Structure 1
Amino acid sequence: MEDEREITLAGKEYLMEEGIYTPIVKENSFERQGGTYKMEELEEGMEVLIPNMAIPKEIDLKKLNRWGRMRLNFLKENKEEDYQIMYLQGILMDHLLSKEKEIEDFITREEVKMMETWGLTEELKEEDYLKYLRLKKNMDMTLQEIGEREIILI
């Protein structure tokens, strides 16, 4: 077992312990998140530091509903750094599934409150079914827009 020691490679200082290189000055998001490096031999006599991490889990699009896919696209297009960090840490799929559950719970919870506010009663359903359907569809679209804006696109 090696002792921890300071080492400088290509002008950058690291603490090295048991073959793991921890940068002293954190220069990027990977390093600020606690990322470390390990030395790998590319060719005979040529070594390079590579990120010390497990192979990330694949994203299974078949397991994602529209909300999960929407969140994935949003991260890729608007929060690329967050996307890459979660992907490399192997937590992206869990994050997407969590957002799906969060928006579904939000819609379910708020739908009950909004039905009364919008006047969507059993009486209306019996008296004017088409009006009830129009209001219900409008309310559902409104809930989805709110959920999208408050949960998915942030």
Structure 2
Amino acid sequence: MEKLPKYTHENGINYVLVGDYYIPMLTLPEENRPIGRWGRMHQKYLKENRPGYYSSLLLTGKLWTYLADLDEHAQERLDRIAEQMQAAEGVTEELKANDQLEWVRRCNSIRSRAEEIVRAELIYV
């Protein structure tokens, strides 16, 4: 019987001989950015509601990059919406200096409404 080579390369994929079978040597691209809160929420949504798309991203190695990009975009969108709402509702540093509790109440209200918008627009779609 002829001796099979330990490693081979076919169709752009490297293979290693394990027993009598060649197993593909797959590696995922390295992504150093964290996926954060919004990325984790979207990942959970994809797993539960869009498993085919989730599997496709996972198998192509694009999932982590996709989630990191989405997390950054969602955080930027949240900050922009909150800033615009504060300007529209008159939540200023002057209000903070005069009535801190009212300023905190309004900021918390704005933040929760902005988070709800981000969830509806970016996370659960």
Which structure 1 residue ranges, 4+ long, deviate > 6 Å from structure 2?
A: none
Q: 1:26-69 CA distances to partner (integer Å, 9 max, x unpaired)?
A: xxxxxxxxxxxxxxxxx97xx9xxxx894445899x93311111
Greater relative contact order structure (CA < 8 Å, 6+ sep): 2
Q: 1:62-109 CA distances to partner (integer Å, 9 max, x unpaired)?
A: 933111111110000011111000000000000000110110110122
The residue that corresponds to 2:59 in the other structure is 88
Which runs of 5 or more structure 1 residues have no equivalent in the other structure? 1-18, 21-42
With structure 1 as the length reference, what TM-score do the two structures score? 0.61
Q: Is residue 138 of structure 1 aligned with residue 109 of structure 2?
A: yes
With structure 2 as the length reference, what TM-score do the two structures score? 0.74
Q: Is residue 127 of structure 1 aligned with residue 114 of structure 2?
A: no
Q: What CA RMSD, in Å, does the superposition of the two structures yield over aligned residues?
A: 3.3
Identity %: 29
* Structure 1: distance between partners of 2:44 and 2:31: 12
Which runs of 5 or more structure 2 residues have no equivalent in the other structure? 1-9, 12-18
How many residue pairs are counted as aligned between the two chains? Answer: 117
* Structure 2: distance between partners of 1:140 and 1:55: 40
Q: Which has the higher strand share?
A: 1
Equivalent runs, 1:58-69 vs 2, <5 Å = 63-69=34-40
